[in-house]
Amino acid sequence: MNRVHHPVCCIEVEAGSAREALRCDDAEIWIDADSILISYFDDEGMVVLEGRPEPSGGWQLVARSRPWRAFLRPIGDSPDNLAGEIDEQGESVSWRVRLGPDPGSAEN
């Protein structure tokens, strides 16, 4: 297996009726040809989503310990920028993932 680890990633989740907007710049992501695993922290603790690639080029994900489903797809010309939706018990919100540190962070 040729799994690529992205140890520093930035995740942004839009606000919904039951949640505040979230920005986490210390997420971790592992990707290989057959799977994706994303972990980050929100106000309720650790979020772990795992999924499989779709023929469309995106990823369908399911949370391990929460009733969430999600979708991500590459945006623009860079495979390092992904966007999609998270469905939390019937409410969908947009989210974005940047593989690597946020360009505005102190790590750059």
SS3 of 38-94: EEEEECCEEEEEEEEECCCCCEEEEECCCCEEEEEEECCCCCCEEEEEEEECCEEEE
- The predicted pLDDT at position 60 comes to 96
Using CB atoms within 10 A of its CB, is residue 1 exposed (0-12), middle (13-18) or buried (19+)?
A: exposed
Contact criterion met (CB below 8 Å) for 50 and 39: no
Which pair of structure tokens corresponds to residue 35? 């799977």
Is 0.75 topped by the overall pTM?
yes
pLDDT for the residue numbered 88: 84
- Written as tens digits, the pLDDT of the chain (108 aa) is 588 899 989 999 998 887 789 999 889 999 988 999 999 998 889 999 999 999 988 999 999 989 999 999 999 887 789 999 999 878 999 999 999 766 555 544
Q: What is the pLDDT, as a whole number, of residue 18?
A: 76
Q: Residue 3 is which amino acid?
A: R
CA-based nearest residue to 4, from 26, 25, 35: 35
